[in-house]
Structure 1
Amino acid sequence: METTPTYPKQDNTIIRLLSEDFKQLADRSQDAIYQFDIESQTFSFFNQQFLSLYAIEENGVKILSPKSVLLHIHPNDRDKVKAASALSLQPQNNSGEIEYRFLHADGATRVMHDRWTVVRDPGGQPIAIEGFIRDNTWRKQFEKEFELSIRNSLIGCYIIQDATFKYVNPEFMRITGYREDELIGTDPLNMVQHAYRRQVNENFIKMLKAECIFPYEFCISDKFGNTKWILETATSIQYEGRRAALGYFMDISKGKQVEKERLAKEKLLTVLELAGAVGHELNNPLQVVLTCAEKLAPTPDDNERSFRLYGLLKKNIEKMRKIIHKFQNVTQYATKDYVDGKKIIDIDAASSKTSSK
């Protein structure tokens, strides 16, 4: 007679202990954790945080169901939550996420971020949803206060995410001349002049990596084609739950103009000092040359060559005298082109009161 073999009874102690440990771990989490069985439309697993947030009480008993969850979602957000859930169940999707307003039992409205994974059977049919829900109220409040602070800032501020503008404050718009709708979603390098784009991109990245701590300068063309000098710094931040970059943007064009005028004044002062020194140092030797030239004047008995050389000497002495006179009357800084792209002092323009150079 054939007997049925017997096997030792399986010891499920370890499995049970692991399950209990996981349950305790889940209950200690600050996030709400759940598993939703699609066929039975029930929550097959949930931690204490999920129960405390999404259950409703009826006759002294806590009830957790899709209806109770929906009642805790703001009425204006329910349709988008349903749409996100339905989209995640499509064959090509295996996950989903949504942010919505949560109606707390104490009357407060909070902001929740729900992220889930869709579990499918071997045939690809969805059988369960496993998710984590995090309270993002503090982050939303921080972002709101942060945007308010930079909105009122006297410095141009912007936020870049995915290589495009996500936020610009009024001062940034004033500096660039562009409206908000003309900036959001565009490449920040578009307004940077071509000669500076590579340098700006490299400096920006170094700033985000904390490899550079000093502000950098470059030129932009505003909406109206005007060139403006910009001083910029950048830092890495979190914006709407993702990594982003915050830039501080200052128009230093007036400062650059003042610096340019200061350098021009310094150059003029240098030229005036040099001209005065040249005029003084050459004037005395010139007088000696003039005196000697007079004594070397040819007599009627001298030949024609002597008269020609003396005339040439007198002509150039007079030319030197006029040049020294111009040096002594220099009133402004002016230059003219020279060989190999160089520039030299333009004595005629520098000593002319009517010159605009």
Structure 2
Amino acid sequence: MTDKPSYAELERRIVALEMELEKRNERDRGIIQTLTEDFEQLADRSQDGIYQYDIESRTFPFFNKAFLELFSLEIQGVRVLSPKSVLVHIHPDDLSMVRSAQKASLEPGSSGGEIEYRFLHPDGSIRWMHDRWTVLRNASGQAMTIEGVIRDNTLRKQAEQEIMQAMRNALIGSYLVQKGKFLYVNREFVRISAYSENELIGTDPLRIVRDDFREFVREHAVRMLKGLENTPYEFCVVDRKGETKWVMESVTPIMYRGNRAVLGYFMDITKNKRAEEDRKEKEKLQAVLELAGAVGHELNNPLQVVLTCSQKLGAKPAEDPLRQQLLNLLQKNIQKIVEITRKFQGITQYATKEYVRGKRIIDIHAASRMSH
């Protein structure tokens, strides 16, 4: 049998074990301390304000330098950070909105919140801050701590305002699309589409595109957004009155309110298209007139010879009735050719008619009638 250790031996082992545990705890505390110091140094190097707020004590157990500089108050040469000093720096017109967002985040089931508000900066300027936070809860679900990050979004906000200002003042139609829906349309876009702003906001941009152009628009817009093409594309839209209009469009990707968006420019080219169609119509007419002149000129001389010969042949009645019948038929059709030639020379308008297999040909008779 193995002898049981004596009381003194047990006591010695317990002391040794306690010393080993103390060494481990000391080592762990050193690691934790090092990690804490590293985290604090990293947090202090951040340009964003980082904070931890204890709900019960209404204090900030942790905050970095950026948060302290932004939200503290200097009282008798000492920087003081408190819930009151934080609220003092929030624009008075945004206080109610901020408080409502914070209150909502503390409701059961909520894990946090975010909000953007105007900030009264210590240097006297007004800046835009974006505050995003997480609510930590105990086992029973009670909110205990708030941990958050505050970022200065002033430059982004100014860029967004400049974009909106440029869109409002644009002489052509412009719009903003985010998550596949209209987010903003300017007055010229409203005029072109004949829809009101309220009727457009939140709807699919393709709704006003004529059905036969939708796939074309989708394809070219995607290619332009990917940088694969930079030439504006033309297509037809149907306005609120049911009228078809030709437009020319270009799109570009941007960031708006922290998310990807599409900025589009939209120009009504209906008048230009109609002018182009008129030009093509005039070119067709010119071609018809030139063709008619050429045909008339080329046919006139041989036609006169044929006409003269037929008249001489018909001067005396033919003995053979069939021969006389054929001669009369020849003279009748020669006269028709003369009339058609005259119509060629009198064409001043362009007209066509249906031919075989879906083709169209020049309607000489209609074009000649239109000229009189």
Q: For the superposition of Structure 1 and Structure 2, which TM-score range results when normalised by the shorter chain?
A: over 0.9
TM-score, normalised via structure 1 length = 0.94
AA in 2 matched with 1:246: L
Distance 2:337 2:364 in 1: 13
> Which residue is 2:65 aligned to?
48
AA in 1 matched with 2:176: I
AA in 2 matched with 1:217: E
> Which residue is 2:4 aligned to?
none
Percent of residue pairs bearing the same amino acid type: 57
Distance 1:193 1:206 in 2: 20
Distance 1:103 1:328 in 2: 84
> Which residue is 1:273 aligned to?
290
TM-fit CA distance, 1:83: 1.6
**Residue 102, structure 1, aligned to residue 119, structure 2:** yes
> Which residue is 1:6 aligned to?
18
Could you tell me which runs of 5 or more consecutive residues in structure 1 were left unpaired when the two chains were aligned.
Answer: none
> Which residue is 2:265 aligned to?
248
> Which residue is 1:188 aligned to?
205
User: RMSD of the alignment, in Å?
Assistant: 1.8
> Which residue is 2:109 aligned to?
92
Task: Compare CA radii of gyration and give the structure with the larger one.
Answer: 2
TM-fit CA distance, 1:97: 0.3
> Which residue is 1:296 aligned to?
313
Which of 318, 325, 329 is the aligned partner of 2:342?
Answer: 325
Deviates more, 1:31-40 or 1:318-327: 31-40
TM-fit CA distance, 1:328: 1.1
Q: 2:346–2:371: 8 Å Cα contact kept in structure 1?
A: no
TM-fit CA distance, 1:255: 0.8
Q: 1:298–1:306: 8 Å Cα contact kept in structure 2?
A: no
TM-score, normalised via structure 2 length = 0.90
User: What is the total number of aligned residue pairs between the two structures?
Assistant: 355
Which of 167, 177, 180 is the aligned partner of 1:160?
Answer: 177
Distance 1:260 1:22 in 2: 70
TM-fit CA distance, 1:276: 1.0
> Which residue is 1:148 aligned to?
165
Deviates more, 1:45-54 or 1:173-182: 173-182
TM-fit CA distance, 1:145: 2.2
Q: 1:118–1:126: 8 Å Cα contact kept in structure 2?
A: yes
Distance 2:311 2:94 in 1: 106
TM-fit CA distance, 1:32: 0.4
Could you tell me which runs of 5 or more consecutive residues in structure 2 were left unpaired when the two chains were aligned.
Answer: 1-6
> Which residue is 1:348 aligned to?
365
> Which residue is 1:232 aligned to?
249
Residues 207-261 of structure 1, C-alpha deviations (whole Å, 9 max, x = no match): 2121221111111122332221000000001112221110000111111011101
**Residue 171, structure 1, aligned to residue 183, structure 2:** no
- Secondary structure of 1:6's counterpart equals helix
TM-fit CA distance, 1:262: 0.8
Q: 1:173–1:179: 8 Å Cα contact kept in structure 2?
A: yes
Deviates more, 1:82-91 or 1:249-258: 82-91
**Residue 211, structure 1, aligned to residue 228, structure 2:** yes
AA in 1 matched with 2:323: S
Runs of 4+ in 1 over 4 A off after TM superposition: 298-301
> Which residue is 2:3 aligned to?
none
